Amino acid sequence: MSDHKDFSAGMNSDARKSPVRVAFVTRRTSAQVKTADEDQLQTYPEVLFRAAVAIELLAIGLAVIALLFNAPLEGIADASHTPNPAKAPWYFLGLQEMLHYFPPVVAGVLVPTLVVIALIVIPYFNINIEAEGLFLKHRTLRLRIFYVVALGLSLFLLFFHVYVALAPTLIMAGFMFLAGQSSPQSPSAFQRYLSAKPLSYWVMTWFLLELVVLTAVGTFFRGPGWSWVWPWGS
Amino acid sequence: MAKTINNYFDELRSTRVWRSVFRSGTGSSTLHRALAVQQNVFLHLFSTKVRRRMVSFSTTWYLGTLTFGTFLILVITGILLMLYYHPSVPQAYADTKDLQFVVSSGMFLRNLHRWSAHAMVFLVFAHMFKVFYRGAYRPPREFNWVIGVVLLLITLLLSYTGYLLPWDQLAFWAITVGSNIASAVPVLGNRVHFLMLGGNQVNANALLRFYVLHCVILPLAAILFIAVHFWRIRKDGGLYSHQTEPKTIVAQTTPAAAALAKDPQ
Protein backbone atom coordinates (compact mmCIF):
# COMPACT_ATOMS: atom_id res chain seq x y z
CA MET A 1 0.00 0.00 0.00
CA SER A 2 1.25 3.39 -0.83
CA ASP A 3 1.58 5.90 1.92
CA HIS A 4 -0.77 8.48 0.46
CA LYS A 5 -4.43 8.01 -0.26
CA ASP A 6 -5.67 9.08 -3.66
CA PHE A 7 -9.30 8.85 -2.59
CA SER A 8 -11.42 10.32 0.08
CA ALA A 9 -14.30 8.62 1.81
CA GLY A 10 -17.27 10.34 3.27
CA MET A 11 -20.34 9.04 4.95
CA ASN A 12 -23.48 10.83 5.78
CA SER A 13 -26.58 8.77 6.12
CA ASP A 14 -29.62 8.73 8.28
CA ALA A 15 -29.96 5.31 9.85
CA ARG A 16 -33.62 5.85 10.65
CA LYS A 17 -34.59 6.88 7.14
CA SER A 18 -32.63 4.21 5.34
CA PRO A 19 -31.35 1.53 7.67
CA VAL A 20 -29.06 -0.12 5.17
CA ARG A 21 -26.96 1.62 2.65
CA VAL A 22 -24.42 -0.36 0.77
CA ALA A 23 -21.91 1.01 -1.65
CA PHE A 24 -19.79 -1.14 -3.85
CA VAL A 25 -16.42 0.29 -4.52
CA THR A 26 -14.83 -1.27 -7.53
CA ARG A 27 -11.14 -1.69 -7.83
CA ARG A 28 -9.95 1.49 -9.43
CA THR A 29 -12.59 3.91 -8.27
CA SER A 30 -13.25 5.32 -4.92
CA ALA A 31 -16.59 6.38 -3.64
CA GLN A 32 -17.55 9.49 -1.89
CA VAL A 33 -21.01 9.25 -0.45
CA LYS A 34 -22.90 12.45 -1.03
CA THR A 35 -26.32 12.59 0.45
CA ALA A 36 -27.76 16.01 0.63
CA ASP A 37 -29.52 16.32 3.95
CA GLU A 38 -32.02 18.97 3.08
CA ASP A 39 -32.24 21.97 5.28
CA GLN A 40 -35.54 21.81 7.13
CA LEU A 41 -37.67 24.31 8.95
CA GLN A 42 -39.93 23.60 11.86
CA THR A 43 -43.61 23.95 11.04
CA TYR A 44 -44.11 25.63 14.40
CA PRO A 45 -43.18 28.42 14.47
CA GLU A 46 -41.33 29.15 11.21
CA VAL A 47 -43.64 27.80 8.50
CA LEU A 48 -46.86 28.77 10.26
CA PHE A 49 -45.45 32.26 10.69
CA ARG A 50 -44.80 32.55 6.97
CA ALA A 51 -48.29 31.28 6.17
CA ALA A 52 -49.77 33.78 8.62
CA VAL A 53 -47.82 36.63 7.01
CA ALA A 54 -48.97 35.55 3.55
CA ILE A 55 -52.61 35.41 4.67
CA GLU A 56 -52.32 38.76 6.44
CA LEU A 57 -50.90 40.43 3.32
CA LEU A 58 -53.76 38.93 1.33
CA ALA A 59 -56.29 40.20 3.88
CA ILE A 60 -54.79 43.69 3.73
CA GLY A 61 -54.89 43.66 -0.06
CA LEU A 62 -58.50 42.50 -0.15
CA ALA A 63 -59.51 44.99 2.54
CA VAL A 64 -58.02 47.82 0.47
CA ILE A 65 -59.93 46.60 -2.59
CA ALA A 66 -63.10 46.36 -0.49
CA LEU A 67 -62.63 49.96 0.65
CA LEU A 68 -62.05 51.24 -2.86
CA PHE A 69 -64.55 49.28 -4.94
CA ASN A 70 -68.17 48.57 -4.12
CA ALA A 71 -69.81 45.26 -4.91
CA PRO A 72 -72.44 45.68 -7.61
CA LEU A 73 -76.10 45.75 -6.64
CA GLU A 74 -78.78 46.25 -9.24
CA GLY A 75 -82.54 46.59 -8.92
CA ILE A 76 -84.59 43.91 -7.21
CA ALA A 77 -84.96 40.60 -9.05
CA ASP A 78 -87.71 40.78 -11.64
CA ALA A 79 -88.63 37.70 -13.65
CA SER A 80 -90.57 39.78 -16.17
CA HIS A 81 -87.69 42.04 -17.04
CA THR A 82 -84.79 40.29 -18.75
CA PRO A 83 -81.56 42.28 -18.96
CA ASN A 84 -79.76 42.07 -22.28
CA PRO A 85 -77.34 40.35 -22.15
CA ALA A 86 -78.03 38.18 -19.10
CA LYS A 87 -74.62 37.00 -17.99
CA ALA A 88 -73.53 34.23 -15.62
CA PRO A 89 -70.74 34.88 -13.07
CA TRP A 90 -67.41 35.57 -14.79
CA TYR A 91 -65.95 32.10 -14.20
CA PHE A 92 -68.86 30.57 -16.14
CA LEU A 93 -68.68 33.02 -19.03
CA GLY A 94 -66.34 30.70 -20.91
CA LEU A 95 -69.13 28.13 -20.75
CA GLN A 96 -71.73 30.70 -21.74
CA GLU A 97 -69.59 31.66 -24.71
CA MET A 98 -69.55 28.00 -25.74
CA LEU A 99 -73.34 27.87 -25.33
CA HIS A 100 -73.53 30.58 -27.96
CA TYR A 101 -72.18 28.13 -30.55
CA PHE A 102 -73.17 24.67 -29.42
CA PRO A 103 -76.38 23.12 -28.09
CA PRO A 104 -76.65 23.15 -24.28
CA VAL A 105 -76.20 19.40 -24.01
CA VAL A 106 -72.76 19.74 -25.64
CA ALA A 107 -71.48 23.04 -24.25
CA GLY A 108 -73.23 22.93 -20.90
CA VAL A 109 -73.13 19.25 -19.96
CA LEU A 110 -70.75 17.22 -22.12
CA VAL A 111 -67.78 19.61 -22.26
CA PRO A 112 -67.68 20.46 -18.51
CA THR A 113 -68.11 16.78 -17.58
CA LEU A 114 -65.28 15.78 -19.89
CA VAL A 115 -63.06 18.57 -18.52
CA VAL A 116 -63.62 17.42 -14.92
CA ILE A 117 -62.97 13.77 -15.85
CA ALA A 118 -59.87 14.78 -17.78
CA LEU A 119 -58.54 16.70 -14.78
CA ILE A 120 -59.18 13.82 -12.40
CA VAL A 121 -57.44 11.19 -14.51
CA ILE A 122 -54.25 13.20 -15.16
CA PRO A 123 -52.18 11.53 -12.40
CA TYR A 124 -53.40 8.03 -13.24
CA PHE A 125 -51.68 7.73 -16.59
CA ASN A 126 -48.05 6.77 -16.80
CA ILE A 127 -47.58 8.99 -19.83
CA ASN A 128 -48.31 11.99 -17.60
CA ILE A 129 -46.02 10.75 -14.84
CA GLU A 130 -43.03 10.02 -17.03
CA ALA A 131 -43.82 13.24 -18.88
CA GLU A 132 -41.38 12.76 -21.72
CA GLY A 133 -41.24 15.13 -24.64
CA LEU A 134 -44.23 14.40 -26.86
CA PHE A 135 -42.33 13.97 -30.11
CA LEU A 136 -39.16 12.37 -28.76
CA LYS A 137 -40.35 8.79 -29.30
CA HIS A 138 -42.28 7.41 -32.32
CA ARG A 139 -41.87 10.82 -33.87
CA THR A 140 -43.41 10.17 -37.30
CA LEU A 141 -46.44 8.40 -35.91
CA ARG A 142 -47.09 10.98 -33.22
CA LEU A 143 -46.64 13.87 -35.65
CA ARG A 144 -49.16 12.24 -37.95
CA ILE A 145 -51.68 11.85 -35.11
CA PHE A 146 -51.06 15.45 -34.09
CA TYR A 147 -51.70 16.73 -37.63
CA VAL A 148 -54.95 14.78 -37.89
CA VAL A 149 -56.21 15.91 -34.47
CA ALA A 150 -55.18 19.55 -34.92
CA LEU A 151 -56.65 19.74 -38.42
CA GLY A 152 -59.85 17.97 -37.37
CA LEU A 153 -60.35 20.19 -34.36
CA SER A 154 -59.62 23.37 -36.35
CA LEU A 155 -62.03 22.40 -39.14
CA PHE A 156 -64.68 21.52 -36.57
CA LEU A 157 -64.33 24.93 -34.88
CA LEU A 158 -64.25 26.66 -38.27
CA PHE A 159 -67.39 24.83 -39.38
CA PHE A 160 -69.28 26.11 -36.33
CA HIS A 161 -67.73 29.60 -36.68
CA VAL A 162 -66.13 29.35 -33.24
CA TYR A 163 -63.32 31.74 -34.15
CA VAL A 164 -62.64 32.69 -30.50
CA ALA A 165 -61.79 29.06 -29.73
CA LEU A 166 -60.09 28.52 -33.08
CA ALA A 167 -57.49 31.23 -32.51
CA PRO A 168 -56.00 29.67 -29.33
CA THR A 169 -56.12 26.25 -30.98
CA LEU A 170 -54.11 27.51 -33.95
CA ILE A 171 -51.60 29.22 -31.66
CA MET A 172 -51.08 26.02 -29.66
CA ALA A 173 -50.89 23.96 -32.85
CA GLY A 174 -48.19 26.34 -34.07
CA PHE A 175 -46.11 25.81 -30.95
CA MET A 176 -46.66 22.05 -31.11
CA PHE A 177 -45.60 22.06 -34.75
CA LEU A 178 -42.43 23.86 -33.72
CA ALA A 179 -41.94 21.30 -30.93
CA GLY A 180 -42.27 18.55 -33.54
CA GLN A 181 -39.45 20.15 -35.53
CA SER A 182 -37.27 20.44 -32.41
CA SER A 183 -35.11 18.04 -30.50
CA PRO A 184 -32.97 18.18 -27.35
CA GLN A 185 -30.08 18.97 -29.72
CA SER A 186 -31.75 22.02 -31.27
CA PRO A 187 -29.56 25.11 -31.30
CA SER A 188 -32.14 27.42 -29.77
CA ALA A 189 -32.92 27.10 -26.08
CA PHE A 190 -36.61 27.74 -26.74
CA GLN A 191 -36.82 24.80 -29.15
CA ARG A 192 -35.06 22.53 -26.66
CA TYR A 193 -37.60 23.69 -24.08
CA LEU A 194 -40.54 22.91 -26.39
CA SER A 195 -39.19 19.51 -27.40
CA ALA A 196 -39.13 18.39 -23.75
CA LYS A 197 -42.80 19.17 -23.16
CA PRO A 198 -45.09 16.15 -22.70
CA LEU A 199 -48.59 15.56 -24.01
CA SER A 200 -50.27 16.63 -20.75
CA TYR A 201 -48.43 19.97 -20.93
CA TRP A 202 -49.82 20.68 -24.41
CA VAL A 203 -53.37 19.68 -23.54
CA MET A 204 -53.39 21.61 -20.27
CA THR A 205 -51.84 24.73 -21.80
CA TRP A 206 -54.37 24.61 -24.62
CA PHE A 207 -57.13 24.29 -22.01
CA LEU A 208 -55.70 27.21 -20.01
CA LEU A 209 -55.48 29.38 -23.12
CA GLU A 210 -59.05 28.52 -24.17
CA LEU A 211 -60.27 29.16 -20.63
CA VAL A 212 -58.64 32.60 -20.50
CA VAL A 213 -59.68 33.64 -24.02
CA LEU A 214 -63.28 32.40 -23.80
CA THR A 215 -63.76 33.91 -20.33
CA ALA A 216 -62.27 37.23 -21.44
CA VAL A 217 -64.43 37.30 -24.57
CA GLY A 218 -67.56 36.43 -22.59
CA THR A 219 -66.77 39.07 -19.99
CA PHE A 220 -65.59 42.03 -22.05
CA PHE A 221 -66.58 41.50 -25.67
CA ARG A 222 -70.21 40.45 -25.48
CA GLY A 223 -73.12 42.87 -25.53
CA PRO A 224 -76.86 42.79 -26.29
CA GLY A 225 -78.00 39.54 -27.89
CA TRP A 226 -74.50 38.17 -27.24
CA SER A 227 -73.24 40.30 -30.12
CA TRP A 228 -69.59 41.24 -30.37
CA VAL A 229 -68.80 44.60 -28.76
CA TRP A 230 -65.54 46.34 -28.03
CA PRO A 231 -65.02 47.04 -24.34
CA TRP A 232 -63.69 50.51 -25.12
CA GLY A 233 -66.53 51.30 -27.56
CA SER A 234 -69.62 53.43 -26.80
CA MET B 1 -33.10 42.31 34.23
CA ALA B 2 -36.62 43.20 33.36
CA LYS B 3 -38.94 40.46 32.29
CA THR B 4 -39.47 40.19 28.58
CA ILE B 5 -42.74 39.30 26.94
CA ASN B 6 -41.22 35.89 26.36
CA ASN B 7 -40.80 35.36 30.09
CA TYR B 8 -44.43 36.14 30.70
CA PHE B 9 -45.42 33.87 27.88
CA ASP B 10 -43.30 31.06 29.32
CA GLU B 11 -44.93 31.56 32.70
CA LEU B 12 -48.35 31.48 31.12
CA ARG B 13 -47.48 28.29 29.31
CA SER B 14 -46.45 26.58 32.52
CA THR B 15 -49.71 27.33 34.32
CA ARG B 16 -51.95 24.42 35.08
CA VAL B 17 -54.81 25.72 32.94
CA TRP B 18 -52.65 26.27 29.87
CA ARG B 19 -51.11 22.85 30.21
CA SER B 20 -54.54 21.28 30.48
CA VAL B 21 -55.48 22.88 27.16
CA PHE B 22 -52.30 22.38 25.14
CA ARG B 23 -50.78 18.94 25.29
CA SER B 24 -47.35 19.87 24.00
CA GLY B 25 -45.92 21.04 27.32
CA THR B 26 -43.52 23.86 27.99
CA GLY B 27 -40.12 24.49 26.51
CA SER B 28 -38.92 25.66 23.14
CA SER B 29 -36.65 22.82 22.15
CA THR B 30 -36.94 21.23 18.74
CA LEU B 31 -38.84 18.39 20.35
CA HIS B 32 -41.35 20.72 21.98
CA ARG B 33 -41.86 22.62 18.77
CA ALA B 34 -42.48 19.36 16.98
CA LEU B 35 -44.90 18.32 19.71
CA ALA B 36 -46.73 21.63 19.41
CA VAL B 37 -47.67 20.54 15.90
CA GLN B 38 -48.03 16.83 16.41
CA GLN B 39 -50.09 17.05 19.61
CA ASN B 40 -52.58 19.58 18.26
CA VAL B 41 -55.68 18.26 16.54
CA PHE B 42 -55.64 21.00 13.89
CA LEU B 43 -51.91 21.36 13.38
CA HIS B 44 -51.28 17.62 13.32
CA LEU B 45 -52.62 17.70 9.78
CA PHE B 46 -49.25 19.21 8.90
CA SER B 47 -45.85 17.66 9.20
CA THR B 48 -43.61 18.88 12.01
CA LYS B 49 -40.86 19.91 9.63
CA VAL B 50 -40.82 21.33 6.13
CA ARG B 51 -37.94 21.43 3.72
CA ARG B 52 -36.62 24.98 3.52
CA ARG B 53 -36.74 24.89 -0.28
CA MET B 54 -40.50 24.21 -0.18
CA VAL B 55 -41.36 27.40 1.71
CA SER B 56 -39.54 29.70 -0.69
CA PHE B 57 -41.95 31.88 -2.62
CA SER B 58 -40.98 30.63 -6.06
CA THR B 59 -41.85 26.99 -5.31
CA THR B 60 -45.56 27.40 -4.75
CA TRP B 61 -46.21 31.16 -4.92
CA TYR B 62 -48.10 30.36 -1.68
CA LEU B 63 -51.20 29.84 -3.82
CA GLY B 64 -52.62 27.06 -1.64
CA THR B 65 -52.03 29.08 1.53
CA LEU B 66 -53.63 32.15 -0.05
CA THR B 67 -56.63 30.14 -1.22
CA PHE B 68 -57.10 28.93 2.34
CA GLY B 69 -56.70 32.56 3.47
CA THR B 70 -59.57 33.69 1.23
CA PHE B 71 -61.64 30.82 2.63
CA LEU B 72 -60.99 32.02 6.20
CA ILE B 73 -61.92 35.59 5.28
CA LEU B 74 -65.07 34.32 3.57
CA VAL B 75 -66.13 32.26 6.59
CA ILE B 76 -65.66 35.20 8.97
CA THR B 77 -67.33 37.83 6.76
CA GLY B 78 -69.99 35.31 5.76
CA ILE B 79 -71.02 34.62 9.35
CA LEU B 80 -71.22 38.37 10.02
CA LEU B 81 -73.32 38.87 6.88
CA MET B 82 -75.68 36.11 7.99
CA LEU B 83 -76.56 38.19 11.05
CA TYR B 84 -78.20 40.78 8.80
CA TYR B 85 -79.76 38.57 6.17
CA HIS B 86 -83.08 36.77 5.73
CA PRO B 87 -83.26 34.26 2.87
CA SER B 88 -86.75 35.26 1.81
CA VAL B 89 -88.33 37.24 -1.01
CA PRO B 90 -88.27 40.24 -1.08
CA GLN B 91 -86.63 40.65 2.36
CA ALA B 92 -83.28 39.38 1.02
CA TYR B 93 -82.96 42.34 -1.31
CA ALA B 94 -83.99 44.80 1.40
CA ASP B 95 -81.40 43.27 3.75
CA THR B 96 -78.70 43.66 1.11
CA LYS B 97 -79.72 47.30 0.69
CA ASP B 98 -79.61 47.73 4.47
CA LEU B 99 -76.14 46.23 4.53
CA GLN B 100 -75.07 48.88 2.06
CA PHE B 101 -76.75 51.89 3.64
CA VAL B 102 -77.77 51.14 7.24
CA VAL B 103 -75.49 48.59 8.90
CA SER B 104 -72.20 49.97 10.24
CA SER B 105 -69.40 48.84 7.94
CA GLY B 106 -72.01 46.70 6.15
CA MET B 107 -70.81 47.93 2.78
CA PHE B 108 -67.23 47.03 3.66
CA LEU B 109 -68.32 43.60 4.88
CA ARG B 110 -70.23 42.84 1.72
CA ASN B 111 -67.44 44.20 -0.50
CA LEU B 112 -64.84 42.12 1.32
CA HIS B 113 -66.98 38.99 1.04
CA ARG B 114 -67.62 39.48 -2.65
CA TRP B 115 -64.08 40.37 -3.72
CA SER B 116 -62.67 37.56 -1.57
CA ALA B 117 -65.04 35.15 -3.28
CA HIS B 118 -63.79 36.23 -6.71
CA ALA B 119 -60.22 36.01 -5.42
CA MET B 120 -60.83 32.49 -4.13
CA VAL B 121 -62.14 31.24 -7.47
CA PHE B 122 -59.17 32.82 -9.22
CA LEU B 123 -56.66 31.46 -6.67
CA VAL B 124 -58.08 27.94 -6.82
CA PHE B 125 -57.55 27.90 -10.59
CA ALA B 126 -54.09 29.44 -10.22
CA HIS B 127 -53.19 26.86 -7.55
CA MET B 128 -54.34 24.03 -9.79
CA PHE B 129 -52.31 25.19 -12.78
CA LYS B 130 -49.24 25.85 -10.62
CA VAL B 131 -49.45 22.34 -9.16
CA PHE B 132 -49.89 20.91 -12.64
CA TYR B 133 -46.93 22.73 -14.17
CA ARG B 134 -44.72 21.69 -11.24
CA GLY B 135 -45.74 18.10 -11.92
CA ALA B 136 -46.82 17.80 -8.29
CA TYR B 137 -49.79 15.56 -9.15
CA ARG B 138 -47.43 12.60 -9.54
CA PRO B 139 -47.78 9.50 -7.33
CA PRO B 140 -48.09 9.17 -4.43
CA ARG B 141 -49.92 12.48 -4.60
CA GLU B 142 -52.49 11.52 -7.24
CA PHE B 143 -55.42 11.27 -4.85
CA ASN B 144 -54.64 14.67 -3.34
CA TRP B 145 -54.89 16.04 -6.88
CA VAL B 146 -58.35 14.45 -7.15
CA ILE B 147 -59.36 16.02 -3.82
CA GLY B 148 -58.11 19.30 -5.25
CA VAL B 149 -60.43 18.91 -8.26
CA VAL B 150 -63.32 18.22 -5.85
CA LEU B 151 -62.39 21.38 -3.93
CA LEU B 152 -62.36 23.32 -7.21
CA LEU B 153 -65.92 22.18 -7.88
CA ILE B 154 -67.01 22.98 -4.31
CA THR B 155 -65.48 26.45 -4.67
CA LEU B 156 -67.36 27.07 -7.92
CA LEU B 157 -70.61 25.86 -6.35
CA LEU B 158 -70.04 28.01 -3.26
CA SER B 159 -69.48 31.06 -5.41
CA TYR B 160 -72.41 30.23 -7.65
CA THR B 161 -74.90 29.66 -4.82
CA GLY B 162 -73.74 32.86 -3.12
CA TYR B 163 -74.31 34.78 -6.32
CA LEU B 164 -78.11 34.49 -5.96
CA LEU B 165 -78.35 35.67 -2.36
CA PRO B 166 -78.48 39.50 -2.93
CA TRP B 167 -81.64 38.84 -4.95
CA ASP B 168 -81.01 41.62 -7.44
CA GLN B 169 -81.33 41.48 -11.22
CA LEU B 170 -77.69 40.48 -11.61
CA ALA B 171 -78.16 37.54 -9.23
CA PHE B 172 -81.52 36.45 -10.59
CA TRP B 173 -80.52 36.31 -14.25
CA ALA B 174 -77.07 34.85 -13.67
CA ILE B 175 -78.65 31.96 -11.80
CA THR B 176 -81.40 31.67 -14.43
CA VAL B 177 -78.78 31.40 -17.18
CA GLY B 178 -76.73 28.91 -15.16
CA SER B 179 -79.58 26.73 -13.98
CA ASN B 180 -81.02 26.47 -17.50
CA ILE B 181 -77.88 24.55 -18.41
CA ALA B 182 -78.97 21.86 -15.94
CA SER B 183 -82.13 21.37 -18.03
CA ALA B 184 -79.90 20.21 -20.86
CA VAL B 185 -78.79 17.10 -18.97
CA PRO B 186 -80.12 14.16 -21.01
CA VAL B 187 -83.23 12.41 -19.66
CA LEU B 188 -83.01 13.84 -16.12
CA GLY B 189 -82.50 17.47 -17.14
CA ASN B 190 -85.84 18.94 -16.09
CA ARG B 191 -85.88 16.98 -12.84
CA VAL B 192 -82.38 18.13 -11.93
CA HIS B 193 -83.45 21.68 -12.76
CA PHE B 194 -86.53 21.34 -10.56
CA LEU B 195 -84.56 19.77 -7.71
CA MET B 196 -81.98 22.54 -7.87
CA LEU B 197 -84.45 25.41 -7.79
CA GLY B 198 -87.36 23.88 -5.90
CA GLY B 199 -89.53 24.98 -8.79
CA ASN B 200 -89.53 25.56 -12.52
CA GLN B 201 -87.86 28.92 -12.27
CA VAL B 202 -85.73 30.93 -9.89
CA ASN B 203 -88.05 31.85 -7.02
CA ALA B 204 -88.22 32.03 -3.22
CA ASN B 205 -87.66 28.27 -2.93
CA ALA B 206 -84.51 28.53 -5.00
CA LEU B 207 -83.27 31.35 -2.78
CA LEU B 208 -83.77 29.21 0.34
CA ARG B 209 -82.09 26.18 -1.23
CA PHE B 210 -79.14 28.21 -2.38
CA TYR B 211 -78.90 29.81 1.06
CA VAL B 212 -78.77 26.43 2.83
CA LEU B 213 -76.25 25.11 0.32
CA HIS B 214 -74.17 28.27 0.53
CA CYS B 215 -74.12 28.64 4.32
CA VAL B 216 -74.24 25.06 5.60
CA ILE B 217 -73.76 22.16 3.23
CA LEU B 218 -71.04 23.43 0.91
CA PRO B 219 -68.90 25.10 3.61
CA LEU B 220 -69.00 21.88 5.69
CA ALA B 221 -68.03 19.86 2.63
CA ALA B 222 -65.25 22.36 1.90
CA ILE B 223 -63.87 22.16 5.45
CA LEU B 224 -63.91 18.37 5.33
CA PHE B 225 -62.08 18.17 2.02
CA ILE B 226 -59.63 20.94 2.95
CA ALA B 227 -58.69 18.95 6.06
CA VAL B 228 -58.07 15.82 4.03
CA HIS B 229 -56.22 17.89 1.41
CA PHE B 230 -53.82 19.27 4.05
CA TRP B 231 -53.41 15.94 5.80
CA ARG B 232 -52.55 14.19 2.55
CA ILE B 233 -49.69 16.63 1.96
CA ARG B 234 -48.02 15.21 5.07
CA LYS B 235 -48.99 11.62 4.36
CA ASP B 236 -47.72 11.82 0.79
CA GLY B 237 -44.29 13.00 1.88
CA GLY B 238 -44.59 16.77 1.96
CA LEU B 239 -44.77 19.17 -0.93
CA TYR B 240 -43.55 17.76 -4.20
CA SER B 241 -40.15 18.63 -5.39
CA HIS B 242 -38.28 17.24 -8.33
CA GLN B 243 -35.16 16.55 -6.31
CA THR B 244 -36.56 15.23 -3.05
CA GLU B 245 -37.09 11.66 -4.15
CA PRO B 246 -34.37 9.54 -2.54
CA LYS B 247 -31.43 9.37 -4.82
CA THR B 248 -29.01 6.57 -5.18
CA ILE B 249 -25.59 7.27 -3.85
CA VAL B 250 -23.64 9.48 -6.16
CA ALA B 251 -20.25 7.97 -6.59
CA GLN B 252 -17.67 10.63 -7.12
CA THR B 253 -14.27 9.79 -8.32
CA THR B 254 -11.33 11.92 -7.39
CA PRO B 255 -9.35 13.30 -10.31
CA ALA B 256 -6.57 10.81 -9.69
CA ALA B 257 -8.93 7.84 -9.66
CA ALA B 258 -10.74 9.16 -12.70
CA ALA B 259 -7.48 9.40 -14.59
CA LEU B 260 -6.65 5.87 -13.58
CA ALA B 261 -10.07 4.56 -14.62
CA LYS B 262 -9.77 6.26 -17.99
CA ASP B 263 -6.29 5.04 -18.71
CA PRO B 264 -5.44 1.92 -16.75
CA GLN B 265 -1.72 1.28 -16.33
- Mark whether A63 and A137 lie in a shared domain: no
CB atoms A104 and B184 under 8 Å: yes
- Mark whether A219 and A114 lie in a shared domain: yes
Is any Cβ of chain A less than 8 angstroms from the Cβ of B102? no
What is the pLDDT, as a whole number, of residue B28? 79
- Mark whether A60 and A139 lie in a shared domain: no
Residue A78 domain-assigned?
no
| ipTM summary value | 0.86
* B64: closest CA of chain A, how far (Å): 10
The domains found in chain B, sorted by start residue, are: 1-48 (no CATH), 50-235 (1.20.810.10)
CB atoms B48 and A62 under 8 Å: no
- A contacts of B202 (beta carbons < 8 Å): 77, 79
Is any Cβ of chain B less than 8 angstroms from the Cβ of A84? no
* B1: closest CA of chain A, how far (Å): 26
- Mark whether A217 and A140 lie in a shared domain: yes
What is the DSSP secondary structure assignment for residue B50, as one 8-state letter? E
R_g (Cα) of chain B, nearest Å: 26
Query: Mean pLDDT for each 10-residue chunk of chain B (265 residues)?
Result: 77 88 82 90 92 90 97 97 95 96 95 97 97 92 96 97 95 91 87 93 95 97 97 92 52 52 51
Is any Cβ of chain B less than 8 angstroms from the Cβ of A130? no
CB atoms A23 and B249 under 8 Å: yes
Q: Which one of A34, A66, A104 has the shortest CB-CB distance to B250? A: A34
Residue A13 domain-assigned?
no
> CA-CA distance, B214 to B156, in Å (whole number)?
11
> CA-CA distance, B94 to B105, in Å (whole number)?
16
Is any Cβ of chain B less than 8 angstroms from the Cβ of A108? yes
Taken in order B166, B170, B173, B175, is the CA torsion positive or negative? negative
Residue A18 domain-assigned?
no
Q: Are A113 and B184 in contact (CB under 8 A)?
A: no
> CA-CA distance, A142 to B92, in Å (whole number)?
57
- Mark whether A102 and A184 lie in a shared domain: yes
Residue A3 domain-assigned?
no
What is the pLDDT, as a whole number, of residue B8? 86
pTM > 0.90: yes or no: no
- For B228, other C-beta atoms within 10 Å of its C-beta total 16
Count how many domains chain A has: 2
Residue A52 domain-assigned?
yes
What is the DSSP secondary structure assignment for residue A110, as one 8-state letter? I
Is any Cβ of chain B less than 8 angstroms from the Cβ of A35? yes
- Mark whether A102 and A208 lie in a shared domain: yes
pLDDT tens across A131-161, in order? 889 999 899 999 999 999 999 999 999 999 9
* A147: closest CA of chain B, how far (Å): 25
Q: Which domain holds residue A47?
A: 43-70
- A contacts of B145 (beta carbons < 8 Å): 120, 122-123
- Mark whether A115 and A151 lie in a shared domain: yes
Residue A214 domain-assigned?
yes
- Mark whether A64 and A119 lie in a shared domain: no
Is any Cβ of chain B less than 8 angstroms from the Cβ of A90? yes
pLDDT > 70 in chain A, percent: 84
Residues in chain B: 265
- Mark whether A94 and A66 lie in a shared domain: no
* A200: closest CA of chain B, how far (Å): 9
Buried b (16+ CB within 10 A) or exposed e, A159-174: eeebebbbebbeebbe
What is the pLDDT, as a whole number, of residue A130? 85
DSSP codes, B94-139: HHHHHHHHTSTTHHHHHHHHHHHHHHHHHHHHHHHHHHHHHTTT-T
* B168: closest CA of chain A, how far (Å): 4
What is the pLDDT, as a whole number, of residue A1? 46
- Mark whether A131 and A54 lie in a shared domain: no
Q: Are B120 and B67 in contact (CB under 8 A)?
A: yes
Residue A94 domain-assigned?
yes
- Phi then psi dihedrals of residue A76, to 5 deg: -60, 150
pLDDT tens across A15-71, in order? 565 555 566 666 666 555 555 677 899 998 899 999 999 999 999 999 999 999 999
pLDDT > 90 in chain A, percent: 66
- Mark whether A123 and A62 lie in a shared domain: no
- Mark whether A156 and A116 lie in a shared domain: yes
What is the pLDDT, as a whole number, of residue A38? 79
Residue A203 domain-assigned?
yes
